[in-house]
Amino acid sequence: MSDVADWWSTEIIDMEPGRIAFRGHEIQDLIGQVSFPQMIWLLTRGDLPSEAQARLLEAALVAAVDHGPQAPSIATARMAVTCGLGLNGAMASAVNMLDDVHGGAGEQAVELYGWIDGGVETGAAIDRWQAERGPYIPGFGHRFHKPVDPRAPRLMALVRDAAEAGTVSGRFAEIGEGVAAELAVRKGKPVPMNIDGATAVIYAELGFAGPLARGLFCLSRSVGVIAHAWEQMQQGGRNKGPTPPQYRWTYTGPNEAD
């Protein structure tokens, strides 16, 4: 029996009839005692964070819940329920889309900050990123929120408070601000940190690995996904398309095949 059981071995959960323990904590001792962010940390990291650490994580989770129905994930969630899916299915189709371009900037920024933290000079890190990954520096600038993404300064203020209180080192806040400063010099105008740059500072300060930064963003954005899908359910509609039915698409192909 052990080779079969070993195939699914895990450090996360232990179970027998009537008993569930996460990372060594019995579930009945966690319910009502730890916050949801603390539970998220426990499951993904293995230990329980302090309340101050959990509050900083919580701020990042609160900040990223939604960016409106123009986002392809949210539009998909809303269309999905009009196709007959429940909230689980709407979440699936929507969260799937939080990939490199739509949901990867936080993970990428954690990685970029890590290079700098590991000793690469800021300008050199930016050069290397652009050479290896392309022109977009993850976490800075915003195509819509100009001049400033309102979420970033608030998050960064919380990081600075946490650094002063000794909860985090403040090292990654400096790194992130250094990237913004370098980009501003290069572009000759401000390129402020956006939500992904700021949450990446938080995740890096708290010691989360890059892939978890993406996972936590997915968890946060799922709240908006559920809220929009549920609102659409109440609004009704069948097979809701991306634009009102009286609009169609421009056909650009041949009018008669040879």
- Footprint of a copy of itself on 161-200 (CB under 8 A): none
Using DSSP's 3-state secondary structure scheme, residue 193 falls into: strand
- C-beta closer to a copy of itself: residue 65 or 120: 65
Confirm or reject binding of residue 129 to a copy of itself (CB under 8 A): no
- H/E element holding 16? strand 13-16
Please report, as residue ranges, which positions from 193 to 252 form the binding site for a copy of itself (by CB under 8 A).
209, 211-212, 214-216, 218-219, 222-224, 226-231, 233, 238-252
Please report, as residue ranges, which positions from 79 to 118 form the binding site for a copy of itself (by CB under 8 A).
79-80, 82-89, 91-104
Q: Cα–Cα distances in Å, from 112 out to 12, 134, 140, 200, 247?
A: 29, 13, 12, 10, 43
Please report, as residue ranges, which positions from 48 to 77 form the binding site for a copy of itself (by CB under 8 A).
48, 55, 58-59, 61-63, 65-73, 75-76
Confirm or reject binding of residue 6 to a copy of itself (CB under 8 A): yes
DSSP β-ladder status, 25-26 and 13-16: unpaired
* Segment contacting a copy of itself by CB under 8 A, of 20-28, 109-117, 122-130, 165-173: 20-28
Confirm or reject binding of residue 134 to a copy of itself (CB under 8 A): no
DSSP characters for 98-152?
-SHHHH-HHHHHHHHHHHHHTT--HHHHHHHHHHHH-S--TTB--SSS-S--THH
Confirm or reject binding of residue 19 to a copy of itself (CB under 8 A): yes
Token pair, residue 6, equals: 């070993």
